[in-house]
Amino acid sequence: MSILNFSNVFLKRLRVGAHQDPMRDWIMALIFSAIVLAGVIVWNAWAFDTIARGGVIGSVEPSSLPAFKSSSLDAIHDIFSNRVAEEAKYETGVYRYADPSQ
């Protein structure tokens, strides 16, 4: 049965006064739902298997950039080094802390 023939038959059934067969309609709805559910299950199984094997779903874009920039890591290291140096100045007495509550 071709798609065009199926759609014509389906449209004829929707007309007012056409023979209604609820049992057939429910069976058609359940068959369609089962086909869609099977398709979803197959798609998810394929996607899971692809990802589990280390594959990629979709197109893979070539990347020549490193995972991270070492200059960013160096900047963070410098910030923490400066903080340690400032903390050491308070602990060694280079900076004097004046307590305003006294």
pLDDT of residue 49: 95
pLDDT of residue 95: 80
Query: Cα(102)–Cα(100) distance, rounded to whole angstroms?
Result: 6
Which tokens sit at 61?
Answer: 């874009």
Query: Would you give the DSSP letter of residue 17?
Result: T
Is the whole model's pTM more than 0.75, yes or no? no
pLDDT in tens, the chain (102 residues): 566 677 677 667 666 666 778 898 899 999 999 999 999 999 999 999 999 998 888 887 777 766 777 788 888 999 999 999 998 988 888 887 777 887
18 CB contacts (<8 Å, ≥6 apart)? Answer: 12
Note whether 33 and 40 are within 8 A (CB). no
Give one DSSP letter per residue of 48-89, joined into a string: HHHHHTT--SSPPPP--S-SS-HHHHHHHHHHHHHHHHHHHH
pLDDT of residue 15: 67
Handedness of CA 4, 10, 11, 12 (dihedral sign): positive
Note whether 48 and 42 are within 8 A (CB). no
pLDDT of residue 57: 85
